[in-house]
Amino acid sequence: MMGDINADGFDDLQCFSPDFVWVVYGNDLPFESVVDLSASTSPLLDECRGFILEQVDGRVLANADFNNDKILDLMVIKSNILYGIYGEKRPEKLQMNASLGLIDKILEYESTSSITLLDGNNIRVSGKCPIPFIKVQVINAQPSDSLDVANSPDVGVTKLSPNTIIIYNKNHDSNFLQKIPKITYSSERNDGLANIKFKYRGILDETISVNFNKFPCICPVNNTCIDSLCVPPGTTDISAGCKKYPCTYGLDCSSHYNKCEFPSACMTCANVKCPSNEKCVLRKSYNAKICKLFPFCVLN
């Protein structure tokens, strides 16, 4: 039987068996292919994704709002006994809060490689109920975009499309978000900004952006440019990074990552929205002391 007894806008599955009656709350994402509702690890036992009525093997179920609160209630009839269970919105004690620390985060895409998401993020979770799964999606996807997740015994993965995946909490673990393995994103884009959303309805909704707008490589005449580093002609090994070689004009050397980075106080193409017939490029300014490159919209 289907009916929305937790007032979240999704029908909930209500069934009986020889031993108990159980309810699985509906959701806007697919469940795992197999969910054992009778096991000791059932997601229903802690009332986070539904609930179980043990020793109530009623053979007749019905929904009606018999306490007049505008939320459907569940009635279970067993022999000559009628059980009534009030429907209710998620109780305060079961509320969850979670953050992946992605606010205002922009990653720079390096050519001929993939980029790792959630690397070193400040992930925070509170509340009784573990998040059962999250949806990861490139919301402005292009055909070459692809998301992949490393193998892990802690999670299950369903790939809905090359750019959309669902990551499941296999062990009903409260540290699920912290245990998500490496997520990699790859693409053949040449410019623009890719926006990747991490979502679990009502609890988590955050976006990370990947910038494909390349920085111009400007080096002295006696140097050549490799991965934003100005190196002597013929150099092939740049593993020493910017600790050894200077950065191209407009970029600073990060002592923490030993990589050339755009100054955080400066605007990039990620901060500019150009018309459809234009693209953003960074143009140099020799008068500025910090922001030596500025974003401009130019015709394609």
CATH number at residue 159: 2.60.40
Mean pLDDT of the chain: 82
Question: What are the tens digits of pLDDT across the range 218-249?
Answer: 899 889 998 889 999 999 899 899 999 999 98
- 245 and 193: one domain? no
Q: Which helix (H) or strand (E) holds 179?
A: helix 176-179
Q: Please state the rounded mean pLDDT for residues 99-104.
A: 76
Q: Quick one: which of 293, 103, 96, 135 has its CA closest to 214?
A: 293
Per-residue confidence band for 113, with pLDDT thresholds at 50, 70 and 90: low
Of 36, 65, 93, the residue that ends a domain is 93
What does the pLDDT read at residue 44?
Answer: 66
Flag whether 219 is in a domain: no
Per-residue pLDDT at 92 exceeds 60: no
Flag whether 151 is in a domain: yes
The Cα–Cα gap between 15 and 59 comes to 9
Q: Please state the rounded mean pLDDT for residues 121-138.
A: 82
Best-predicted range by mean pLDDT among 54-58, 92-96, 218-222, 296-300? Answer: 218-222
CA 298 to chain centre: 33
Per-residue confidence band for 41, with pLDDT thresholds at 50, 70 and 90: low
Of 66, 93, 120, the residue that ends a domain is 93
- 118 and 207: one domain? yes
What does the pLDDT read at residue 228?
Answer: 86
Flag whether 217 is in a domain: no
Domains held by the chain: number: 3
Strand residue runs (E) in 80-192: 81-85, 96-99, 106-108, 115-117, 124-127, 133-138, 146-149, 155-161, 164-169, 183-186
Looking at 84-93, 115-124, 181-190, which range is the least confident one? 84-93
Flag whether 216 is in a domain: no
pTM, 2 dp: 0.64
Per-residue confidence band for 77, with pLDDT thresholds at 50, 70 and 90: confident
What does the pLDDT read at residue 198?
Answer: 93
The Cα–Cα gap between 173 and 134 comes to 13
Per-residue pLDDT at 203 exceeds 70: yes
Which residues form the domain of 237?
224-299
Q: CB 55: neighbour CB atoms within 10 A?
A: 8
